[in-house]
């Protein structure tokens, strides 16, 4: 999962650390050269003094003795500051050290289908966290780069994050969860997986097929219900999806079922009649949560669709299916930052237990982990 992105981040870390180390070594060499030059000029000055008894340096008007050599014939202020820091066991990171690595990071992120504004935010945070940073020479630069990247990724990935299980636990029962998204992205499979995920945590669920549009939809979700031993509420093709999910809620109420999982027909946000159906479901059933399902592999297309769905019929969270087939991870990195709605689950295969609760910290650790 997300192996391409992981490799790219790993190369960025190596290159950035190397570049910063190189600049630090240059600063060290310069510091040594400056020290030597200073010592030599002091020697020469001592000789000259004995020969011509010249006056010692006077404090300037403010009373301070000028410490930093001027730009024309000495090291630049930044070189001087760096050299001074180096002499006290520190390495200072400067804008120019980061230019190339950050450009590489930008390519890596965009190449992994990370949305532009998200990539920019990550770059800004890394730059901000590293610039002017003085680290002890004994710390590795790689550590510093990794920490900056960790914070930058976590910041964008964890936007709006909440604990789904806590939400289910705290809500009045039955909890109604409705799933939306375009065709064929894995909504129905996700519902079956989530039903199993809930069962594993002690919550019962009923499936309600609000996809009254597609021929064969009842049979498809029915197979999952049979395999899992769950009750399915379904109406004939062409029926009212809001009525099906409403019946699901009634059934759950009457039978002490904790969660109603409502499927809906795959649709484009531009299909007005289908979007009107979602509004009606919202009105009639008042779902506790509306989850948008899309394929992780769809990258920025998934981000765009999530935004469009959220605008048309507000979503509460996102499930990214087929993360097992996704090497780039662009959607997982970008979607929460762009939509303000968190990724709650990743689909990681075709089996019922291939559903993983999304944990931003764990994902960042995984992305930055050793191969
Ligand atoms: N590899 C992989 N395949 C998945 C995952 N989730 C779903 N699929 C597969 O994706 C295909 C489509 O899944 P469905 O659940 O039928 O998709 P849907 O969105 O309900 O489709 P419509 O009802 O046509 O809108 C199926 O073959 C699933 O087995 C996943 O996490 N990983």
CB-ligand 1 contact for 76 (6 Å cutoff) = no
Read off the pLDDT of residues 220-254 as tens digits, 9 standing for 90 and up: 999 999 999 999 999 998 899 999 999 999 999 99
| Fold adopted by 164-360 | Rossmann fold (3.40.50)
CB-ligand 1 contact for 184 (6 Å cutoff) = yes
Q: Is the peptide bond before 360 cis (omega within 30 degrees of 0)?
A: no
324 is in an annotated binding site: yes
CB-ligand 1 contact for 205 (6 Å cutoff) = no
Nearest residue to 262 (alpha-carbon basis) of 288, 283, 237, 236 = 288
pLDDT of residue 61: 47
C-alpha–C-alpha distance, residues 202 and 277, integer Å: 32
CB-ligand 1 contact for 11 (6 Å cutoff) = no
Q: Spell out the residues 6+ positions from residue 51 whose beta carbon is closer than 8 angstroms to its own.
A: none
Percentage, residues of the chain above pLDDT 70: 85
CB-ligand 1 contact for 322 (6 Å cutoff) = yes
169 is in an annotated binding site: no
pLDDT of residue 112: 95
Read off the pLDDT of residues 276-316 as tens digits, 9 standing for 90 and up: 888 899 999 999 999 999 999 999 999 999 999 998 888 99
Candidate from 186, 294, 309 with most ligand 1 atoms within 8 A of CB, to mutate: 186
Q: Spell out the residues 6+ positions from residue 179 whose beta carbon is closer than 8 angstroms to its own.
A: 187, 190, 191, 261, 262, 263, 264, 290, 291, 292, 293, 319
CB-ligand 1 contact for 348 (6 Å cutoff) = yes
Read off the pLDDT of residues 315-350 as tens digits, 9 standing for 90 and up: 999 999 999 999 999 999 999 999 999 999 999 999
The answer to whether the 3-55+67-157 and 164-360 domains have the same CATH topology is no
Q: What superfamily in CATH does domain 3-55+67-157 come from?
A: SRP54, nucleotide-binding domain (1.20.120.140)
Ligand 1 midpoint to CA 259 (Å): 21
Contact call for residues 251 and 257 (beta carbons, < 8 A): yes
Nearest residue to 253 (alpha-carbon basis) of 285, 217, 229 = 285
234 is in an annotated binding site: no
C-alpha–C-alpha distance, residues 153 and 311, integer Å: 25
Read off the pLDDT of residues 149-159 as tens digits, 9 standing for 90 and up: 999 999 999 99
Q: Where are the domains of the chain?
A: 3-55+67-157, 164-360
Ligand 1 midpoint to CA 296 (Å): 12
Ligand 1: which atom is nearest the Cα of residue 191? 15
C-alpha–C-alpha distance, residues 244 and 283, integer Å: 14
pLDDT band of 73, cuts 50, 70, 90 = very low
pLDDT of residue 51: 57
CB-ligand 1 contact for 176 (6 Å cutoff) = no
ipTM metric: 0.96
pLDDT band of 271, cuts 50, 70, 90 = confident
pLDDT band of 370, cuts 50, 70, 90 = low
Average pLDDT over residues 125-145: 77
Mean pLDDT for all residues in the chain: 86
């Amino acid at each position: 999962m997300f192996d391409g992105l992981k490799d790219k981040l790993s190369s960025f870390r190596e290159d950035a650390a190397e570049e910063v180390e190189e600049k630090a070594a240059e600063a060290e060499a310069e510091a040594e050269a400056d020290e030597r030059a200073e010592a030599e000029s002091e020697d020469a000055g001592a000789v000259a003094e004995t020969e011509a008894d010249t006056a010692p340096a006077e404090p300037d008007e403010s009373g301070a003795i000028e410490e930093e050599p001027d730009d024309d014939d000495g090291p630049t202020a930044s070189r001087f500051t760096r050299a001074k820091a180096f002499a006290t066991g520190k390495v200072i990171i400067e804008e120019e050290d980061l230019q190339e690595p950050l450009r590489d990071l930008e390519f890596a992120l965009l190449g992994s289908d990370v949305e532009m504004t998200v990539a920019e935010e990550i770059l800004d945070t890394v730059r901000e966290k590293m610039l002017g940073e003085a680290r002890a020479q004994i710390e590795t630069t790689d550590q510093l780069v990794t920490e900056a990247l960790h914070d930058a990724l976590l910041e964008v990935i964890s936007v709006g994050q909440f604990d789904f299980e806590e939400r289910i636990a705290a809500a009045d029962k039955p909890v109604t969860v409705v799933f939306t998204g375009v065709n064929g992205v894995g909504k129905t499979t996700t519902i079956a997986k989530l039903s199993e995920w809930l069962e594993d945590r002690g919550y019962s669920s009923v499936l309600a097929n609000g996809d009254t549009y597609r021929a064969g939809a009842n049979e498809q979700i029915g197979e999952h219900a049979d395999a899992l031993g769950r009750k399915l509420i379904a109406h004939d093709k062409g029926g009212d999806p809001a009525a099906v999910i409403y019946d699901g809620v009634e059934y759950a109420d009457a039978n002490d079922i904790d969660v109603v999982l409502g499927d809906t027909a795959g649709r484009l946000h531009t299909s007005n009649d289908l979007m009107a159906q979602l509004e009606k479901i919202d009105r009639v059933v008042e779902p506790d949560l509306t989850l948008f399902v899309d394929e992780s592999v769809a990258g920025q297309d998934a981000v765009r669709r999530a935004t469009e769905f959220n605008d048309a019929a507000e979503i509460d969270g996102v499930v990214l299916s087929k993360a097992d087939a996704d090497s780039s991870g662009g959607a997982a990195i970008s979607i929460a930052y762009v939509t303000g709605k968190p990724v709650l689950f990743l689909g990681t295969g075709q089996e019922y237990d291939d559903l993983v609760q999304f944990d931003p910290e764990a994902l960042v650790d995984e992305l930055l982990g050793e191969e």
